[in-house]
Structure 1
Amino acid sequence: MAGHSRRLVALASGLLLAVAGCTGQASASQEDGVVDLRQQDWQHVPGVAADGDGLRVTATALSIVDRDNGGRQANPPLNLAGTHLVTDGDFSLSARFTDVTDDAAWALYDSPPVIADEFRIEPAGLRLTLDDDDLEVIVFDGSSQQDVTDPEPVYDEHVTLSNPQAPITVHRTGDTIEIASDGDTVASTPFGEVFKSGELWLGLSSDEGSFEVSSLTATADEGASLATTGPAVERAQPSAQGLQSLADRVRPGFKIGAAVALGPLASDADYAQEFVGDFGAITPENAMKPQFLSPRQGVYTFEEADAILAMAESKGMTVHGHTIAFTEAMPRWMKELPTGSEEDRQASAEVLLDYITTVVTHFKGRLASLDVVNEPFDVDQGTSLQKNIWYQTFGPGYPAIVSQAVHDADPDVRQFINENGADVPGERQDALLDLARDTNAQGGHIYGVGLQSHVYDIETDAISTDDLTETLSNVQDAGLHARISENDVTDDEGTDIQAQQYADVLATCLSSPTCVSYTTWGVDDRYDWWVDDDGSVQQGHDLLFDEGHPTPAHQAMKQLLKSS
């Protein structure tokens, strides 16, 4: 996304919302009332792989690096696209970790966390970390945090285990959580109510090493039920009256899409149905950004992106990839590649080109289009290229080098340069079009430009029909195509004005052959969260759905398509 803290649409969070339980639950295969979780679906969890009868967990170093490279927040994965548990009462979970080379961590959450490009918000839940004979027990209650990037648990205790090889058991009884090992209760917390949603989301990870999960089971207490279930999106269906279905009748082949995250697709039936029902194209909001795909040099974590693409393919949707070269979404190793000498730059060039080839080859044939360069210009709305690692390594012509490398790996994917503040005529738009043309003149393969169309302030950001019409004419004159890539509109001036702005942008795009698709940056205000300048978490109201219900903006777009 636009590198803005304003639009950090993300995953479901128990901190910010109690999500209703998934429907369509399927009972687990059980023996004596015990669910063997090792036999469930873990294929889309980074760092977790089947290993005989067990699971092998290896460190991924997944983390969120802030835009100034001043901090790193751990981002261990959960099993989002696979199996999670649903229970209507008390339960026990037991795990046995062996061959632990450094640390072994086990998370049990009430709902998935919020994951954004610059922060992660911990939901209510429990995290256990075993390091030699030390077991750290951490509980989050889902309350608001003063600093979302450094959450403070309501319970944090270290206990010494007499036998670290013995199974560790978590037993929830009402408002109490007990942790036991080798027959002894080693910790007891009065925070059992953190699991009030009735859903249990599991994660396995290691900070630095690896370990074997030789047993992992779940059991419901007497009188309670326990079931396994898959992601909510599996049960969502396209709507004959959805935006994409209506657009197909007006302009066949024109795609209306949205940026999405895996968490709400997996956990929230409302969100999943809104997305599948109304949209025909998908942009992974964060899962394909460099810091999420390659947390360590040479290490790739494609699992969550693959899960989103598999979902899109199962629903017949097209995918727009996002993104390759982007200053504010790089892992630290990429930002810190050496460029001080010609020898350094040559070595770093090999590393960066290998990254492009590996990523694009992995997704080859699955992407209709791709942001090969994202937000290249100064963040203060200037027209100078940011001096990022790509610039430092290859020089100001780096977009052509990136574009050629992408083309070599996948000649069929349509390439875009995506930028904010270029959706109305002006110097920034001129600079974007010049950059695209110059890139192609240097051997690049840019098909078009992405016009983000964020309207955070109606007075300063509003996009008139006349301005957008002129913009699309300018794009056509440059021999390029355009896509509305990240449209969202504040409701600060009222929902009627918001609705009109949405409809104007879609109508103008739809009527121009130069504009090949329209995407809104998010689905439901339920997940429209951002961090204010004072560090507090704020909810936006900028999208087409709000708490599971269509907004006036959605109705305006729907009416526009019906009357076109």
Structure 2
Amino acid sequence: MAWRRRILMALASGLLLAAAGCTPNNPEPDVVLDLLRQDWGNTPGVTPDGGGLRVAATSRTIVEQDGGGGQPNPPLNLAGTHLEAKGDFTLSATLTDVTADASWSVYDSPPVIADEFRIEPAGVRLTLRGNELDIAVFDGSRQETATAPRPAHEERVTLQNPDTELSVRRAGDRLEVAGGGKTLLSQPLQGVFGSGQLWLGLASDAGTFQVSSLTATAPEGSPLTAAGPAVEQAAAGEDGLQALAGRIRPGFRLGAAVALGPLASDPDYGRVLVGNFGAITPENAMKAQNISPQQGVYTFGEADAILAVAESKGLAVHGHTIAFTEAMPRWMQDLPAGTDAERRSSATALLDYVSAVVTHFKGRLDSLDVVNEPFDTDQGTGLQENIWYRVFGPGYPAAVSRAVYDADPDVKQYINENGADVPGPRQDALLRLALDTNARGGHIYGVGLQAHVYNLETDAIPARDLARTLRTFQDAGLLVRISENDVVDDDGTEAQAQQYAAVVETCLRSSACVSYTTWGVDNRYDWLIDDDGSLQQGHDYLFENGQPTAPYHAVRKVLGG
């Protein structure tokens, strides 16, 4: 498996140390770990080139719900090798052939990527533009504005030679940055490099550059080793939630939405995921803004890494998503649709995107959201007039569905929507849309009911209403996924647990409900922006800091555990 190969490469790095006359547990001061020889294969924008690394701009950003904004989301090497550094260390890099800008980051942990923002971890980012070097230090403290993180310290220095070697060093309780043999920054660590892990990123905003050297060294008594992804060590549980569900309904899958960062860095996350779930949904990695940030350019690396985890652990994968008003890259939002000629041209661009994405993942997905959240965001029943609507008209789901089928006739297609979990106008509209799509030549297998419960007074999903909903879709010849269930704890964990149990039990008892997925794994990664713009942690999932919550115990009881 790909992840095992990466572990072997990390072990091989340890052998490089031994070859120098030392071991990872007893390094000598002059031992050098060549990071160019590590695995960068799933890092967007980074490719091996002539013994070094070539870095190209990906233009990855995280757009806001209204399609605006664009918080930068530069890639890190999440699926490959990171470093375990328990003491002092020096990382050195030489960046050459910079056409616009070159950025090198060293973080304590991967950033937390939410739907509409990125939480910047503690670490250092160096950005080279000509002779100017920008130094930004993030201390991991709570940001006033999550979508516009500000460094705890930043400064600009001028280098005599832009091709000089740059270094980031931890020396006791100090952080040092050097270039050309001169110290450019020396300050107390102040929360930086306290995790014992080092995660590396290479990115450009607008150009390309070459990394001709990238090394790590550690003095005697400061172990420094290469490490692979944390999830590699996780194993399925004989008494986990998926195992219990399979005894009641063989073939039924309990799933969770996942992100690559915690899969790679958090052993607890991997342990509870693989031990309790039989399916995953990539939370953000397959959305258009991540896999096609520029028209005709595809950065599949992070999604591929998640799928490699699923394949190595025997987990089914539900793809998420193709046509979606949110999470669109700017090129897609700006496609012209004013004239017939423009609509024809834009239709070609959109269908090329569908074909490229579905073909790339062909045979690796059990099911796929071909259309996600098509209706008005105010819980209405009208279709959002996004680029798909403007180009293809109100029948656009059929155009998307046919294109998906042409690329992969075996993947099960779903239309996924929120607010349709209980009988009412929005559910009626979803049913009509699915049937109309198939009447127009589409291949919709079923619907995804997101089952988000943000407020137990207004969003509660009574078991009786959900059972009626499942019968309605089954009578129409459609199957159902509970696709994104999560429940707030504002009314206490007992009420939260009861709601979780009601949804899981009702789904499990209905032959129309083929799978259940919760929209996250651990509350450690459950973050949201409050109405006042502040960053808040949620407590909506089945685990918290690797430990089961009250909802977990309620779900387990439903499953007979």
Q: For residues 43 and 452 of structure 1, what CA distance do their matches in structure 2 show? A: 33
Q: Which residue of 2 aligns with 1:146?
A: 144
Correspondences of 1:149-164 after superposition (within 5 Å): 149-164=147-162
- 1:52 CA drift (Å): 2.4
Q: Which residue of 2 aligns with 1:174?
A: 172
- 1:111 CA drift (Å): 0.7
Structure 2 counterpart of 1:262, from 257, 260, 263: 260
| Partner-residue secondary structure (3-state), 2:140 | coil
Contact 2:104 2:201 in 1 (8 A): yes
Correspondences of 1:1-400 after superposition (within 5 Å): 28=14, 29-30=16-17, 31=20, 32-191=30-189, 193-400=191-398
- 1:192 CA drift (Å): 5.8
Contact 1:391 1:398 in 2 (8 A): yes
Contact 2:88 2:219 in 1 (8 A): yes
Q: For residues 543 and 329 of structure 1, what CA distance do their matches in structure 2 show? A: 23
Correspondences of 1:385-534 after superposition (within 5 Å): 385-534=383-532
| Partner-residue secondary structure (3-state), 1:562 | coil
Q: Which residue of 2 aligns with 1:8?
A: none
Contact 2:139 2:190 in 1 (8 A): no
Contact 1:418 1:450 in 2 (8 A): yes
Name the aligned partner's letter for residue 358 of structure 2: V
Q: Which moved more, 1:181-190 or 1:458-467?
A: 181-190
- 1:313 CA drift (Å): 0.3
Mind listing any 5+ residue stretches in structure 1 that lack a counterpart? 1-21
Q: Which residue of 2 aligns with 1:17?
A: none
Contact 1:172 1:192 in 2 (8 A): no
| Partner-residue secondary structure (3-state), 1:252 | coil
| Partner-residue secondary structure (3-state), 1:168 | strand
Q: 1:498-553 deviations in whole A, cap 9, x for unaligned?
A: 11111111111111111000000001111111001111011111110011110121
Q: 1:267-316 deviations in whole A, cap 9, x for unaligned?
A: 11101101000000000000001111111111111000000000000000
Q: Which moved more, 1:304-313 or 1:495-504?
A: 495-504
RMSD: 1.3
- 1:437 CA drift (Å): 0.1
Name the aligned partner's letter for residue 334 of structure 2: E
- 1:221 CA drift (Å): 2.4
Identical positions, percent: 66
Contact 1:375 1:419 in 2 (8 A): yes
Q: For residues 248 and 193 of structure 1, what CA distance do their matches in structure 2 show? A: 45
Q: 1:384-433 deviations in whole A, cap 9, x for unaligned?
A: 00000000000000000000000000000000000000010000000000
Name the aligned partner's letter for residue 389 of structure 1: I
- 1:68 CA drift (Å): 2.0
| Partner-residue secondary structure (3-state), 1:221 | coil
Mind listing any 5+ residue stretches in structure 2 that lack a counterpart? 1-6, 21-29
Q: For residues 193 and 256 of structure 1, what CA distance do their matches in structure 2 show? A: 38
- 1:243 CA drift (Å): 0.7
Q: For residues 492 and 62 of structure 2, what CA distance do their matches in structure 1 show? A: 34
Instruction: Count matched residues.
Output: 540
Q: Which moved more, 1:382-391 or 1:51-60?
A: 51-60
TM-score (norm 2): 0.95
Q: For residues 343 and 560 of structure 1, what CA distance do their matches in structure 2 show? A: 56
| Partner-residue secondary structure (3-state), 1:496 | helix
Correspondences of 1:516-555 after superposition (within 5 Å): 516-555=514-553
| Partner-residue secondary structure (3-state), 2:163 | coil
Q: Which residue of 2 aligns with 1:13?
A: none
| Partner-residue secondary structure (3-state), 1:461 | coil
Name the aligned partner's letter for residue 240 of structure 1: E
Name the aligned partner's letter for residue 384 of structure 2: Q
Q: For residues 238 and 425 of structure 1, what CA distance do their matches in structure 2 show? A: 37
Q: Which moved more, 1:106-115 or 1:27-36?
A: 27-36
Name the aligned partner's letter for residue 461 of structure 2: I
Q: 1:211-234 deviations in whole A, cap 9, x for unaligned?
A: 111100001123211011011000
TM-score (norm 1): 0.94
Contact 2:140 2:191 in 1 (8 A): no
Name the aligned partner's letter for residue 93 of structure 2: A
Q: For residues 385 and 422 of structure 1, what CA distance do their matches in structure 2 show? A: 14
- 1:170 CA drift (Å): 1.4
Contact 1:258 1:281 in 2 (8 A): yes
- 1:33 CA drift (Å): 1.6
Q: Would you identify which runs of 4 or more consecutive aligned residues in structure 1 move more than 6 Å?
A: none
